Amino acid sequence: MAVDGVEMGKVSETIVVIGAGIVGMSTAIWLQRAGKSVIVVDKGVPGMGTSYGNGGIIVPCGIAPVTAPGMLLKAPGYLMNPNFPLFLRWSYLPRLMPWMLRYMSHANTKDTRRIARGLTPIVGDSVEQHKALAKGTSAEGWITDSDYCFAFKDRTAFAADPFTWELRREAGHVPEVIEGRAVQEYDPALGDNIGLLAVMKDHAFVRAPGAYVQALADVFVAAGGDLRQTEVRDLELGDGKITAVVTDQGRIECDKAVIATGVWSKPLMKKLGLNVPLESERGYHIVFKDPSIKLKSTYMIASGKFVVTPMEAGLRVAGVVEFGGLDAGPSKAPIKLLYKQVKENFPTLEYSEAEEWQGHRPALTDSLPIIGEIAGTGVFAGFGHHHIGLTGGAKTGRIIADLLALKGTNLDLSVYDPARF
């Protein structure tokens, strides 16, 4: 006998999702749609962590890792160049070094191709995945279709990285190239020092990433989901299986759990016996409010390796990689460099005020996320997306939800195995 789809005498299993960023909310909503009882817990407000501060771009072509061939030889020069968007808090170097050595060991052709193949299934259909997640809800309106343009000074600059463009082409991402005066005809807001655009079609962006994730949380709650603002302290296991999530407000008994806490996932993984090589790639953004220019599309400015997105709150400029751990406050040099690069590339930009932000990208040493169950414990993980957290978050959550709902997946998940380290 069944009542409301639940067989009498059986108790529906409870799943706790730890983390209310894009991965956690995607997981929760897809589980909810599969008829599961879900509790989402986060010590903060949904969408106000790393999910808030990204560039907002949904990038299906985002398959190339930072650790490209030759990076090992170039990195010291980058660190010494005040105009290159790579920074290091030198006092943090002794703690960082073991991670960095493993990270840089992948800066070769073979590993870069392997990583790109691993990222492709997570980001390749990312626009469709976000639209499917948000369809028919209040979150849907935050997603905007757009070209994604790589902006270069000239053809020589464009041709300087043939390997990365080869990777993108092999994955089916072939740009339309616009150059000369046609660049400013495409978008009059671009400065004269941008002489070539490699335009990727069928991309998208989110006009306010924090508001988008908050809208997803509202959708989850409106459909009966349980969202709690509380800090997770521990995971309880019995006979090797999760039995409860322990928070600062008490125990939450559960049958399954999901760790989707980005760069803060490492302590929880340690409680399950895994010491994952996870570091913070500290990132920065500036929002220029009431901007005097209106961009047609979203841009990656290649000379400064930063993205520019026309958002609800203003023009958001996001980028920079800084290694310095989780505890230190924002540095002045990365923000100063962003201002300088914006002035060089958008010389006519005026604005009423600027809002600065610094956050933490979760970076694993092999540039691939962790997705899957941890050693048969009933605890699943989804984190470690480096620069593609928003892009890959919707798909990652759906994969985890499908695994928990026993729908399975056609993807080879071995490359994302939590125990691979």
Average pLDDT in the chain = 93
229 and 44 Cβ atoms separated by less than 8 Å: yes
pLDDT in tens, 229-255: 999 999 999 999 999 999 999 999 999
Residue 139 confidence (pLDDT) above 50: yes
Q: What are the angstrom distances between the C-alpha of 233 and each of 4, 45, 105, 400? A: 35, 17, 34, 23
What pLDDT is recorded for position 313?
A: 96
Q: Predicted confidence band at 276 (pLDDT cuts at 50, 70, 90)?
A: very high
| pLDDT score of 264 | 95
Stated length of the chain: 421
| % of the chain with per-residue pLDDT over 90 | 88
Mean pLDDT of 274-296: 96
CA distances from 80 to 37, 84, 93, 195, 344 (A): 52, 8, 15, 28, 21
| Distances in whole angstroms, Cα of residue 17 to Cα of each of 34, 138, 286, 379 | 15, 22, 31, 10
The span from the CA of 23 to the CA of 17, in Å, is: 10
Q: What is the pLDDT of residue 8?
A: 38
Q: What are 38-91's pLDDT values in tens digits? A: 999 999 989 888 888 899 999 999 999 999 998 888 888 888 888 888 999 999
Q: Give the model's confidence band at 223: pLDDT under 50 very low, under 70 low, under 90 confident, else very high.
A: very high
Give the mean model confidence (pLDDT) for residues 378-406.
96
Q: How confident is the model at residue 5 (pLDDT cuts 50, 70, 90)?
A: very low
335 closest CA partner among 94, 130, 53: 53
Could you tell me what percent of the chain has a pLDDT over 70? 97
| Phi, then psi, of 359 in degrees rounded to 5 | -145, -165
Global pTM? Answer: 0.94
Q: Which amino acid would we find at residue 261? A: T
Q: At what angle do helices 126-134 and 22-33 cross, to 10 degrees?
A: 60
The predicted structure's pLDDT at residue 71 = 84
Domains of the chain: 2-51+211-277+367-416 (3.50.50.60), 60-121+140-207+278-364 (3.30.9.10)
Q: Tell me what pLDDT residue 3 has.
A: 38
Mean pLDDT of 14-18: 98
If you average pLDDT over residues 122-130, what whole number do you get?
A: 97
The phi, psi pair for 182, rounded to 5°, reads -60, -20
The 3-state DSSP composition of the chain as helix, strand, coil percent (nearest 5) reads 35, 30, 35
The backbone torsions φ and ψ at residue 261, rounded to the nearest 5 degrees and listed phi first, read -110, 25
The answer on pLDDT for 4 being more than 80 is no
